Structure 1
Amino acid sequence: ILFTPTCLGWEIYADKTASGIGDLKRDLDRLARRICNGAVAGLRRLGVNAEFRPKNDIEVNGRKISGTGGTERGTSFMYQGTLLVDFDVDLMLRTLRIPVEKLKDKEVESVKQRVTCLKWELGYVPPLQDIKSAIAEGFAEVLGVEFEAEGLYPCEKELFEERLPYFQSDDWVYMIEPPEDTEGQVTAVRKTPGGLIRVSLALNVPGNFIVSSFITGDFQIFPQRAVMDLEARLKNLPADDESIARAVRSFFEETGARIFGVEPEDLIELIYEAVKKKAFAVLGVTLEEANHLMTVNFMPDEILSQHFDYLLLPYCAKLVDCDYRKVEGCTMCGACSIGDLYELADELHIPVRTIQSYEHLIETIEEFKAKGARGYVGSCCEGFYNKHHDDFVNTGVPALLIDIDDSTCYELGEEQEAYLGNFEGQTTLKKDLMIRIIRALHERGRIGGVNLH
């Protein structure tokens, strides 16, 4: 839950036999709907046309305004929600660890289109007490009860004050902390005939399920709210191939939704790719680092069945005034990030080439392919990968590509110069990550070992 000063929390604590609740205690889906409809009724009193959206969201015209959830203990239960009074999109994206710096303006806008808040709907922020009163009246109406405003009983207040230091302590805050690198954000992106699609998933690795998802891009979808509905369908979904394929296919079949230029199978494959990035852990790669890896002609969970025979590095990572920028070779002087990779390749006897242009890339891949090479490790920016994804695939050669660390020709609007080999900027390789991956592959006998000279 992302809870900020511009959110209002609401909670219902009750016995399972309470009025309006008892008949639903064995049907959690209907219970969620009943309670959420109380918040819906409250929002409507404020002039907001809210509705319940399964499994547990409240929306306004297809845009989420409140997330909800609950738990139970013994004969009692608690159900709560977080109402967005105002909203900071950038804060949400950073908190959810979505790579904001890689989202295009259209993608950020698409995120805004699936979330809303009271301020956006009403044009102003009502007084907090008015919001609280409206929500309380909505719950009273739907649950058929009357509320009386009271403080804590003396015994409750005493217990609260006694326990508060513990609930403020690190022992409580970090008591349930997932094992390192078992929860996090995984992302996959692809340029399709219908536009760029980026799938970002919050993944629970031990439970192997999708916690939540964001699907962004510059594609056209009809109806517009279909993206949000699909994301709701993916929530808490088992992260296995069969469950993902069934959920996506049934969604498009049942709703009739369409993404122009994109087939459901394209989306399924992209979700597969994002989920399977957890498999890079065998190379000592964290979930966060896995988002910098891109695969060609194989899925991430097939990494240990691939063999990579050579290393391709971009000329733009060499110093602008380096004598070797436009030719093969490296003095390994240590002045740029590429030298250490050449040194490692020499140590492990891995053929390495500096790629000078797009044409040179394809020529080099075909050259090594003719010599019996089975795959390669390389480095390029996400923009280049997206634009030339089909070209990479059409070579038929498996590749593991590692993203570049800073501003690239695509971000600077100089991709045509780079295509021709005339980009005059300098980029930085993710050197440490590349070295770690190459060494891990070498230890497992998955890189080098073939004479390609």
Structure 2
Amino acid sequence: MKWRFIDLDKTDGFKSAALFESIAKYVGGNVSPETILFWRVMSPVVYLGYHQCVEDEINVDHCRNHNIGIVRRILGGGCGFCDENQILFSCIGKDSGIIPPDIQAAYTKVLGAVVNALYTLGTEGEIEPARNAVYSKGRKISGNAQGRLDGAVLINGSLLMDFDFELMDRVLKNPTKNLYPVAKAREGMITLKDIGVTDIDFAKKALLDGFEKALGITTYEGMLAQNEINTANQLMEKYRSHDWIYRMDIKRAHRKRFSVLPPQ
């Protein structure tokens, strides 16, 4: 079975979210081939889970003052701080295809790619089902999220090459939230640089090979189709809009405003 592989390299955080939603629509509609997408962000961003409130998770003033984008994705899960030192990926398949319908089984299958890559890169990897993450040497090296949309299933994730822990501590209100109990995020996370891997092309190849082995597929280098690009450009307006970024904060404020007070 052949899947398309696209490496966007560095791209805008908002554009990445628009692209993986666009690709998913066409994969689910049997127009585009199932796809493994790699990218890195051009500048730091926070990817926010679909159901999360900005107010609960992010120090907005710091983001605004330092030009750090807030990108609400269509996938669930927790928020994650991302910079150019991470390989980000999206595994986009048909929901009737080789990715299991069960959520945890889907994570296990797809995240096997990260475990395979870590083995190739000379270290161990273990899937942590409770956190939808991959750990190496007891510390988190890959965070992940999942969603199903219009006949497609998406599992997105990261592989840390290096990391600006100090900046993450300033951007996120609770940077240790999705880790094993630790005082600081640095204590609960590990990067490929920590284990001696600094060649990003080597790491990308290991990850792509890991996907082929985990999914039982072969890949070919492909390009974005024009319809995928056009739809992504249309979606950009949504992803950059205040109403989308703060949609859950707005909903919560609306519920509070119109909640019925108990009788006095």
Deviation readout 1:341-391 (Å, 9 max, x if unpaired):
xxxxxxxxxxxxxxxxxxxxxxxxxxxxxxxxxxxxxxxxxxxxxxxxxxx
- Give ranges in structure 1 of 5+ residues lacking alignment: 101-105, 183-453
Change (3 A) 1:142 1:161: same
1:41 is matched with 116
TM-aligned CA deviation for residue 50 of structure 1? 1.5
Secondary structure, counterpart of 1:116 in structure 2:
coil
- Alpha-carbon distance, 1:166 to partner: 3.6
In structure 1, the partner of 2:33 is none
Identity of aligned residues (%): 24
1:50 counterpart (125, 132, 137): 125
Q: CA deviation at 1:118?
A: 0.9
What's the counterpart of residue 153 of structure 2? Answer: 77
Give the secondary structure class of the aligned counterpart of 1:113.
helix
Match of 1:6 in 2: 85
Letter in 2 for 1:126: D
Structure 2: give runs of 5+ residues left out of the alignment. Answer: 1-79, 177-181, 256-264
Q: Given the alignment of the two structures, is residue 32 of structure 1 paired with residue 107 of structure 2, yes or no? A: yes
Contact 2:168–2:175 (CA under 8 A) maintained in structure 1: no
**Total equivalences in the alignment:** 168
Selected match of 1:66 from 120, 142, 146? 142
CA-CA distance at 1:90 after TM superposition: 2.1
> Which residue is equivalent to 1:149?
221
Paired letter, 2:171: T
State the one-letter code of the partner of 1:92: M
Q: Can you list the C-alpha shifts for 1:129-187, whole angstroms capped at 9, x where unaligned? A: 3322221110111110111111111221222233334423334333333636x9xxxxx
Q: What is the letter of the counterpart of residue 84 of structure 2?
A: P
Distance 2:219 2:175 in 1: 44
Counterpart of 1:177 in 2: which secondary structure? helix
- TM normalised by structure 2 equals 0.57
Find the aligned partners of 1:36 and 1:140 in 2 and give their Cα distance: 12
What's the CA shift for 1:74?
A: 4.1
- The structure in which a higher percent of residues are strand is 2
Equivalent residue letter for 1:120: D
CA distance in 1, matches of 2:151, 2:114: 23
Higher relative CO (CA 8 A, sep ≥ 6), structure 1 or 2? 2
Q: TM-score, normalised by structure 1?
A: 0.34
Q: Runs in 1 of length 4+ with deviation above 4 angstroms?
A: none
Task: Specify the alignment match of 1:112 in structure 2.
Answer: 186
* TM-align CA RMSD: 2.6
Distance across 2 between alignment mates of 1:162 and 1:80: 21
Match of 1:167 in 2: 239
Tell me which residue corresponds to 2:198: 125
**What's the offset of the Cα at 1:62?**
0.7
Aligned pairs (5 A) from 1:403-442: none
CA distance in 1, matches of 2:239, 2:210: 31
Asked whether the equivalents of residues 95 and 148 of structure 2 are also in contact (C-alpha less than 8 Å), the reply is no
Deviation at 1:33, TM superposition (A): 1.0
